[in-house]
Structure 1
């Protein structure tokens, strides 16, 4: 999922970003297009004497961190040419802030796990070796990768990062509460969710936990097959303005305000100490349903397995769309793996060797069953390990089905925006102005659009 960054980290990122733009020559290409690609120095690894050590900056926690540590240990023990040092950064926001700082200090790792919202920023920094170069050089086969997953990180016809930890927003609910309220199945649409929230509250079974995650606007627009920003979501040429201030956007904001205003939903921020109140509230009985990232499945399963929440039986369902039979589809979230072009050639080659190993069908099968991230390859999904796990834990299959079905186009591939973190803050602030400030949905959405346009214009003026 695309995490909303902490305000502190965002401020740091914005400050660093402005200073970096004054010292680093940035690309003015639409979104990463390139007429020719730099070479991937694959031969440098075989020519290197001894073991090539590389640092890998990552951002996992809890069950996901444990799973990644296991994969890295397996890789290091399987061969002696490359040794990967896993360096936990504490989140995507911290990773990106440190990457920006490293553009001037020179302290960049060979590879990093960079959040989806920083795709354009990574391209503009001119500090990455597009993985397309290595895909071409090694004839790496991506035919079994899910098209929509690849398409998110492919801009200008170039695969910039290699997808790895990919997630989707899903619907979590307490089946015990639904049963007691007489609700037979989870909601498939937002109007059904609103109706269920009213019933649940009237039956004393809790309400909806609504995280103030600006990614939800993008996700709902994608399922409606609508763009978030202009110029093909920033994929045909660089985005210059938002395009979400439409009847669809206003309808969404109107429904969300009614949901919260009725008292049938409670809100919590998407960052800080209260970021998981929507999920913890299910355990406490305050809430009976919420929307959050599928990447949390592994950790949630761990907590429920401890027996401390006997009143909760977890149900997982697809992200409720705006309408039945949606014309669009769910967009991917999470992060991709990037290679730094600021390290020696042998380290660049070593980074490619490791990340291509991580994305093998076998390792993707292991990764997905231990975390909740989706297997991004069809041949990983078809392994006996995944099929057996899904049979016992059907919730884990839900996000895979969401990302492997439906149309793949500019709307569903996700937007490419340079100052994405600031854009998301503007949208989250607009949503909150409806819930706590009394703003009308029309006014809140219009304000968000105007602010986002200003943020994008300011960023683009510096490149």
Structure 2
């Protein structure tokens, strides 16, 4: 979407690895750590929160932060916009090297893997399990499971979910009505709709330029496995992987019923102009599409069409605290994390941004249910929780994503054949995984 950097990396496998689904009881060592943390802010403290929110997303975060600051007198959260996600990542790494890390930041799970390996971010388990400032088991388990698991490494929690989204299908309702079409629910229906809607200057289907990053979703939808986590082996160079890439390549290059965003940068622009009848993009872009499409087209959203099975990546960042912070700053950060992830605030965030609530109680709350009834465009994302997955916790995840996305992209822009691109993607991805796990 416009101004949203689709670093929102795709992710493989279902949620079978990571943490168990229920809150775990602390060991005696963990109980001691829990007892050792401060539970009271004893003097005013200011903490910096580095983020990459833009446009209405940043305005909403500013409103929420101001409300938090005004709600008490001892904690002042200072927001620092660091540009794009790529900018934020680079600045966080530079700050770590120069020992100038902020107290808090947004972070993707593959960034967190590197931070954990280098002992840069705090284990939040002592805060979560503390009887005074923590969450009860029910409060912890109220976090949607895919987000809870994503933030857990060996039963230790290093992050709190924040801006979470997934891909949805955006479609032009007038074009669909004119052609007697319904929102597609399968690959076959998606291809048929794209074929029907491609006429004149209109292309039926659109994909973001970052589609290569989303290739794991298509492999899993085809019934395949993207990576064997236990054995650290890439497994998408398979019949299912070829089926997925062939399907995409046929639509873009052979049948020419789909296109990438190309020079438009984000597919929301050609979609809002009426040049593309439907496209797949992040649910976090809803507010951007609303602004761009106003008084131009009528549109709606739907869950991703499924292949052999439904599968969708839940993307977005988590909240982390850096170990360089002192105990009072860490406690202040934990209080702000609790606030941002509380039921009322996650509903407010979702209502104003297009991200999804991160708590089960929020999804069932009358305020949220009324909101999505009145604003059905926001309902498609949460309908896919059962099919949701996240990138597995693997060393080298960032390099892996760069490796396979580059090669898949080369196929879709016509530079490589399906067979060659898939083979090169598998080799380069395995090399990145092997290098990181020597």
For normalisation by structure 1, the TM-score amounts to: 0.82
Measured after TM superposition, the shift of residue 188 of structure 1 is: 1.1
2:155 aligned residue = 157
Q: Does 1:295 align with 2:288?
A: no
Which deviations, in whole Å up to 9, do the C-alpha atoms of 1:24-44 show, x marking residues without a partner? xxxxxx989999669368854
1:318 aligned residue = 303
Contact 2:167 2:280 in 1 (8 A): yes
Residues 1:117 and 1:180: Cα distance change in structure 2 (over 3 Å)? farther
1:388 aligned residue = 370
Distance in 1 separating the partners of 2:380 and 2:6: 23
Residues 1:102 and 1:47: Cα distance change in structure 2 (over 3 Å)? same
SS in 2 for 1:335: strand
Which deviations, in whole Å up to 9, do the C-alpha atoms of 1:128-167 show, x marking residues without a partner? 1122231112441212221112112223222221111111
Measured after TM superposition, the shift of residue 5 of structure 1 is: 4.8
Distance in 1 separating the partners of 2:34 and 2:87: 28
Q: Does 1:350 align with 2:339?
A: no
Which deviates further from its counterpart, 140-149 or 74-83? 140-149
Contact 2:34 2:126 in 1 (8 A): yes
SS in 2 for 1:46: coil
Contact 1:390 1:397 in 2 (8 A): yes
Distance in 2 separating the partners of 1:194 and 1:282: 17
What does 1:184-263 align with in structure 2 at a 5 Å threshold?
Answer: 185-202=182-199, 205-212=202-209, 213-223=211-221, 226-232=224-230, 240-261=232-253, 262-263=255-256
Q: Which blocks of at least 5 consecutive residues in structure 1 are unaligned? A: 7-29, 233-238
Tell me the number of residue pairs that the alignment of Structure 1 and Structure 2 aligns. 414
Q: Does 1:432 align with 2:409?
A: yes
Which deviations, in whole Å up to 9, do the C-alpha atoms of 1:37-78 show, x marking residues without a partner? 6936885462532x1100001111111111111100100001
1:275 aligned residue = 265
SS in 1 for 2:335: helix
Q: Which blocks of at least 5 consecutive residues in structure 2 are unaligned? A: 9-16, 21-25
Contact 2:219 2:244 in 1 (8 A): no
SS in 2 for 1:316: strand
Distance in 1 separating the partners of 2:219 and 2:245: 12
Residues 1:206 and 1:350: Cα distance change in structure 2 (over 3 Å)? same
For normalisation by structure 2, the TM-score amounts to: 0.87
Residues 1:214 and 1:134: Cα distance change in structure 2 (over 3 Å)? farther
Distance in 1 separating the partners of 2:140 and 2:372: 24
Contact 1:200 1:207 in 2 (8 A): yes
Contact 2:18 2:150 in 1 (8 A): no
Distance in 2 separating the partners of 1:135 and 1:225: 37
SS in 2 for 1:291: strand
Which deviates further from its counterpart, 260-269 or 62-71? 260-269
Residues 1:428 and 1:69: Cα distance change in structure 2 (over 3 Å)? same
Measured after TM superposition, the shift of residue 275 of structure 1 is: 2.8
Distance in 2 separating the partners of 1:267 and 1:41: 54
Contact 2:109 2:318 in 1 (8 A): yes
2:432 aligned residue = 455
2:343 aligned residue = 361
Residues 1:41 and 1:100: Cα distance change in structure 2 (over 3 Å)? farther
1:236 aligned residue = none
Residues 1:423 and 1:143: Cα distance change in structure 2 (over 3 Å)? same
Which deviates further from its counterpart, 385-394 or 412-421? 412-421
SS in 1 for 2:143: coil
Measured after TM superposition, the shift of residue 350 of structure 1 is: 0.5
1:39 aligned residue = 33
Distance in 2 separating the partners of 1:369 and 1:53: 28
Residues 1:285 and 1:433: Cα distance change in structure 2 (over 3 Å)? same
Distance in 2 separating the partners of 1:152 and 1:200: 38
Contact 2:222 2:307 in 1 (8 A): yes
Q: Does 1:48 align with 2:48?
A: no
Measured after TM superposition, the shift of residue 195 of structure 1 is: 1.5
